[in-house]
Structure 1
């Protein structure tokens, strides 16, 4: 089966999407007009400007986006937020610099350290014993970490993949107190500013640089990303890196998609988001079995989380004695619902302005039906992410490890070796071990445990791992 056939099959069989991208396969801009097709796939011709030197319609689009988000300047990437993050980090640091990053950052942040030959100072993350999820934001530890370093740039993630939000206003205040710059990877937060029912956005909190993946939470096509400048930074090097890293043939379909998505959110985002948020509250009460394991904002606030993005639809199936990975498969195979992710405890769905009452009702009804037919008294261990908050010993600069010669060993024979690759459990997609970090028995045991639970481990190939060659 070729890709076209597979895509046709998916679109035919899976009408209910609770995963990225945020448009959910729907053209909510112009339902009767196919605007994002071949006719609009063009190159830089007269009247249509150049993303690498915008002076016309693209400049107008970026100015409009900046006005919508209330920031000084906005840039866009058609290479996704990976390029935006790389450009921001490389544009604000110099080789050999230290950089302060939260350990729960996306792999793209770590790759920026390889590109820029940077050395990390890690901000600790914690696991909430009640929710079982990882979060960052211990303000006392945060301030202690950053005040004793000359590093000038701090990078954090807000909100998390699961919707957990730290006290971003206080974090920004502390960063600025020590005269540092804060970059916020707000890949999952491009929608926040459009409703008062959602957490404050990073741009409203005063962060200096904000990166957003429009395709995650807005109805935009995959690879659309925004980079906002929210303070009086010199952006010349950031702009240079955007030009270096981004394709010289940016897609006009992606640019058009972003323009229409931001405009749609400006005109309709508040109404559509809040209608859906209220609908979710009602459905959680109506479908009592699903509602009992549905974890919304009240649940997280009661259990020590500072704030929560209620557009994340989290069902803790483990509480019904159902392994969430199995529940996700049931939703797909029985009900034609595709969720964003599942681990052993939670299934996670993304709600956007593209969803409607029928979509949301069918999701709750289906989860309710699964619990009715599949629930048991079996105890599902609530420790998927236990020990994933620790940081291994850094034995080699990450860039040096990337370029070093490597050899392949069975994971179980890799004790005290230096990792030559990332080891990333997915979900949640946070590096457990980075190139240059030492592997101990503790990490080998943890990786094997996660593997046994059905968590995919990126970086392992048939139980083998690449390590630095000739490591003593």
Structure 2
């Protein structure tokens, strides 16, 4: 651990040791010019908030510490090139799509993609063919099968890329190896939004990484599962099917011209953290996970859900539900009452994202269980069956869908408002995105179905936070006239 290099930390330390007097941006002057109510921790963080000074390198043209840090990142993940992203995985998804896809290209896209993937397709003016994921017996959307990808690559031989979301928001995945093999057999590149899998490179007990399986472009939200600051992400590139210079051009174009040094520092530290994740750490982590699993399996009220249909389940993701009565939304309220704040809740589950514990983190699970013990329980109703956005039976009931209009056509049409109940069969002029997880329930340009409307009404009833849907709270949706 001691001999793992952290070049951005060393670069910033060297600068601070010179006792610099700031006559440059940012305006807080290394945390000395601040509002009197600024928390001390924030002012300390500001002392590391620099700009492109002599000796501090430049993210957009790295030649010193940042270049070395990105090389170490690439070496650890075993890629041809890796980049620091200080605008989140959103900018990574935009850059990989714009760098790999041209206007009018047909692209196979996993339907339960993040909104940033859809935004990238919009900017690229692509033609997405949405392939709907397999559902397990509880209606949870897991992922795609190789047979379905093979079918649609044959059906759309002009497809220029396959875009996957792996793992899903709950940490599940399936048939990744076979999908990548099938696409590469036809020399079609595979782009993977692996936002929740930056830690997979550590190996078992975690699922396999898309990079290890040969994906061409992969985006990691380092801040989601590694100890990096929010908006800190990675973009990785490998293989000969992608024009690296095109991807890099968009990375430089889309990222802020004033990159955050604290975020870059946290990305370098996060890489060092996972690089130093040793056998002892993994053993301790597995022990702690087993403790929480045993606790929940013996709990009179709570239980843990594990999909029987997923090939892989990330142990960092814990889906918890009430054995007898209350919904996931109600369970979230009970958890927050004792100070446990979950990632999200659904009609049946809450999702807890556990930390990537090392052997010296001795308190976390003990305190979590102590918080669980503070919860109060009452008699409740029968549990609500979990439903995915397009759920039905187990399997893949609705194999694929397309937008009813091209992105170019959408820009030319007028928009009107309709009551949800009257919108079935119309073409949506806005995206309806429950957040989290940020997966569009309705895509802009998609024809509205009865199932979509019923799900929207459930979201409204449950008070789910929704991005988009300007008039959704009034029971209305914008459609193309």
Q: Into which bin does the TM-score normalised by the smaller protein fall? A: 0.7 to 0.9
Give the alignment partner of residue 221 of structure 1, picking from 224, 229, 232. Answer: 229
**CA shift for structure 1 position 412:** 2.4
Q: Over aligned residues, Cα RMSD in angstroms?
A: 2.4
Aligned to 2:78: 70
Give the alignment partner of residue 421 of structure 2, picking from 389, 408, 412. Answer: 412
Q: Note the alpha carbon deviations across 1:27-50, whole angstroms, 9 max, x for none.
A: xxxxxx999712221111111111
Q: Note the alpha carbon deviations across 1:195-215, whole angstroms, 9 max, x for none.
A: 311111111111111100010
For structure 2, which runs of at least 5 residues remain unmatched after alignment?
A: 1-40, 392-396
- What is the SS of the residue equivalent to 1:337? coil
Cα 1:392–1:268 shift into 2, 3 Å: closer
Aligned to 2:139: 132
Give the Cα–Cα distance (whole angstroms) in 1 for the partners of residues 439 and 320 of structure 2.
21
**CA shift for structure 1 position 427:** 4.9
**CA shift for structure 1 position 264:** 1.6
- What is the SS of the residue equivalent to 2:434? strand
Q: Note the alpha carbon deviations across 1:90-138, whole angstroms, 9 max, x for none.
A: 1111111111110011111111111111110122212211x43111122
For the pair 1:330 / 2:342, whether they are aligned, the reply is: no
8 Å contact from structure 1 (residues 290, 364) kept in 2: no
**CA shift for structure 1 position 167:** 1.9
8 Å contact from structure 1 (residues 392, 438) kept in 2: no
- What is the SS of the residue equivalent to 1:339? coil
Give the alignment partner of residue 477 of structure 2, picking from 432, 440, 465. Answer: 465
Give the Cα–Cα distance (whole angstroms) in 1 for the partners of residues 451 and 128 of structure 2.
22
**CA shift for structure 1 position 414:** 2.3
**CA shift for structure 1 position 291:** 8.6
Cα 1:239–1:382 shift into 2, 3 Å: same
Cα 1:35–1:213 shift into 2, 3 Å: farther
Aligned to 2:369: 364
**CA shift for structure 1 position 71:** 1.2
Give the alignment partner of residue 395 of structure 1, picking from 392, 397, 404. Answer: 404
- What is the SS of the residue equivalent to 1:275? helix
For the pair 1:343 / 2:383, whether they are aligned, the reply is: no
Give the Cα–Cα distance (whole angstroms) in 1 for the partners of residues 449 and 243 of structure 2.
43
Aligned to 1:437: 446
Aligned to 2:69: 61
For the pair 1:283 / 2:292, whether they are aligned, the reply is: yes
- What is the SS of the residue equivalent to 1:338? coil
Give the alignment partner of residue 320 of structure 1, picking from 309, 313, 324. Answer: 324
Cα 1:326–1:272 shift into 2, 3 Å: farther
More contact order relative to length (CA 8 Å, sep ≥ 6): 1
Give the Cα–Cα distance (whole angstroms) in 2 for the partners of residues 268 and 100 of structure 1.
35
Aligned to 2:27: none
8 Å contact from structure 2 (residues 130, 401) kept in 1: no
Aligned to 1:29: none
8 Å contact from structure 1 (residues 285, 291) kept in 2: no
- What is the SS of the residue equivalent to 2:196? coil
8 Å contact from structure 1 (residues 315, 348) kept in 2: yes
Give the Cα–Cα distance (whole angstroms) in 2 for the partners of residues 353 and 304 of structure 1.
25
Give the Cα–Cα distance (whole angstroms) in 1 for the partners of residues 363 and 303 of structure 2.
18
Write the mapping of 1:31-46 to structure 2, written as runs, cut at 5 A.
37-46=45-54
**CA shift for structure 1 position 407:** 2.5
For the pair 1:373 / 2:373, whether they are aligned, the reply is: no
For structure 1, which runs of at least 5 residues remain unmatched after alignment?
A: 1-32
TM-score (norm 2): 0.83
Give the alignment partner of residue 164 of structure 1, picking from 172, 193, 196. Answer: 172
8 Å contact from structure 2 (residues 108, 161) kept in 1: yes
Aligned to 2:183: 175
8 Å contact from structure 2 (residues 128, 403) kept in 1: no
Aligned to 2:25: none
Cα 1:36–1:275 shift into 2, 3 Å: farther
More helix by share: 1
TM-score (norm 1): 0.84
**CA shift for structure 1 position 170:** 1.4
For the pair 1:190 / 2:198, whether they are aligned, the reply is: yes
Aligned to 1:3: none
Cα 1:413–1:227 shift into 2, 3 Å: same
**CA shift for structure 1 position 444:** 2.0
Q: Note the alpha carbon deviations across 1:350-409, whole angstroms, 9 max, x for none.
A: 112258443323333444554x72354x32121332634756663211353256432233
Aligned to 1:15: none
Aligned to 2:457: 448
For the pair 1:385 / 2:388, whether they are aligned, the reply is: yes
Cα 1:34–1:401 shift into 2, 3 Å: closer
For the pair 1:93 / 2:101, whether they are aligned, the reply is: yes
8 Å contact from structure 1 (residues 190, 217) kept in 2: yes
